[in-house]
Structure 1
Amino acid sequence: QFRSVTDEGELSTVCYRPEGLDRLVQQTNFSKKELQILYRGFKNECPSGVVNEETFKSIYSQFFPQGDSSTYAHFLFDAFDTQNNGAVNFEDFVISLSIILRGSTADKLGWAFNLYDINKDGCITREEMTDIMSSIYDMMGKYTYPCIKDNDAKEHVDNFFQKMDKNKDGVVTIDEFLETCQKDENIMQSMMMFDNVI
């Protein structure tokens, strides 16, 4: 038995449940090699194998030191926590990451819709949209350029509903969301700001 501890660690990292890895190759747009590299990084940062909301918040506070990112990190955590159990494991993480980075336009928009639909009831209300926009502005901080004014979030939400809420019932459904976004180049551009914020 000449195995050292590092060999053990290396071995367990590379041998991430092979059947789980094959399943993730099917479920994501990552190759087996990419998944192994992602897993190694994930385990490095999270030896326990799961990320909780506090970890998400501390990561985001490092990215956006000039603002308060805790509310946005909370909404984002909920979108990654697909099983609603207060923890994001490696599977949750790479499935969302795959959509954000390599998903089709419809997949990315579906993920964005889910993020905005805070209570996950299948439609976005004005309140939900306002909460998300406010959290993004809080995270960016007061010292952004161009400078953010206090009523910017409200204007953003008004524009969003004016374009999206086709039947004027005060909520935006996934169908309205997908239809409007795919027709409107400007909205598509602003939706893709996720690539920057995530």
Structure 2
Amino acid sequence: MSKRRQQQQLLDSLARSAKNFNKGEVECLVKLFNRLAAEPSNHFVNVGLDRNMFKDVMHRTFGMTDDVILDRVFRTFDKDNNNCISAVEWVEGLSVFLRGTLEEKIKYCFQVYDLNGDGYISRDEMFQLLKYCLPKQPSEEDTDEGIKDLVDIALKKMDSDHDGKISFMDFETTVRDDYLLLEAFGPCLPDIKNSIAFEEKTFQTTRKV
């Protein structure tokens, strides 16, 4: 099969699976992906995006700085766990990241916060996530106490079955009641300003038509 035909099949498939983008937008995202994947600093040149390249894009484009969160965002995009983001994973991941429905965003945020992938956000995971969100205090102990208090507040608000951890059902129920708690354990979605800037820059060719 010719390379052109393969590319066309990829675009057709992604236009169906990444349903929050139209075909022209999918094409723009694949072009951007190919450009990033070809950069010499990328470990998987012309194959996909390695962890460092992906984190660098998220940092430069969306202002994301928390290393723990960035690592989890990479893991959430990397569906097959091969440490490389493929074109399909890139477009489908961005479909949720940029334009996901509430349901898609709840699933995505929960996956990011579930650090060990066991289906729960434990007290320890909440502590690790929140530790990097709070400004450093003169004494490390002061910070730790403040974080423990935040973890207790989060559990009180979200742990509806009182088992000391947050299940997906707990998380979903709480967020549907209060949307502001979607990113309770750290920013893992783009803010509106960065999201609009990225879309305008990436999709400008499709919008001139």
TM-score normalised by structure 1 residue count: 0.75
3-state SS of 1:172 partner: strand
Give the alignment of 1:66-105 within 5 angstroms: 69-105=66-102
Find the aligned partners of 1:107 and 1:53 in 2 and give their Cα distance.
Answer: 23
Spell out, residue by residue over 1:39-86, the C-alpha distance to the aligned partner (whole angstroms, 9 max, x if none): 111111112131111223444565799x96433322221111111111
Q: Is the 8 A contact 1:99 1:108 kept in 2?
A: yes
Find the aligned partners of 1:37 and 1:186 in 2 and give their Cα distance.
Answer: 31
Give the alignment of 1:117-196 within 5 angstroms: 117-137=114-134, 150-151=143-144, 152-188=146-182, 193=187, 194-196=189-191
Q: Is the 8 A contact 2:120 2:167 kept in 1?
A: yes
Q: Which residue of 1 is the match for residue 28 of structure 2?
A: 37
Q: Structure 1 residues 175 and 38 mapped into 2: Cα distance closer, same or farther (>3 Å)?
A: same
Find the aligned partners of 1:16 and 1:36 in 2 and give their Cα distance.
Answer: 13
User: Are residues 1:109 and 2:109 paired?
Assistant: no
Q: Structure 1 residues 87 and 106 mapped into 2: Cα distance closer, same or farther (>3 Å)?
A: same
C-alpha deviation, 1:88, in angstroms? 0.9
Higher relative contact order (CA 8 A, sep 6+): 2
Q: Structure 1 residues 72 and 187 mapped into 2: Cα distance closer, same or farther (>3 Å)?
A: closer
Aligned pair count?
Answer: 177
Q: Is the 8 A contact 1:21 1:35 kept in 2?
A: yes
Percent of aligned pairs with the same amino acid: 26
Where structure 1 has 5 or more consecutive residues not aligned to the other structure, the ranges are 1-11, 143-148
Provide the alpha-carbon RMSD of the alignment: 3.2
Find the aligned partners of 1:136 and 1:16 in 2 and give their Cα distance.
Answer: 43
Find the aligned partners of 2:65 and 2:180 in 1 and give their Cα distance.
Answer: 27
Where structure 2 has 5 or more consecutive residues not aligned to the other structure, the ranges are 39-45, 137-141, 196-209
C-alpha deviation, 1:191, in angstroms? 8.1
1:23 to 10, 13, 16: 13
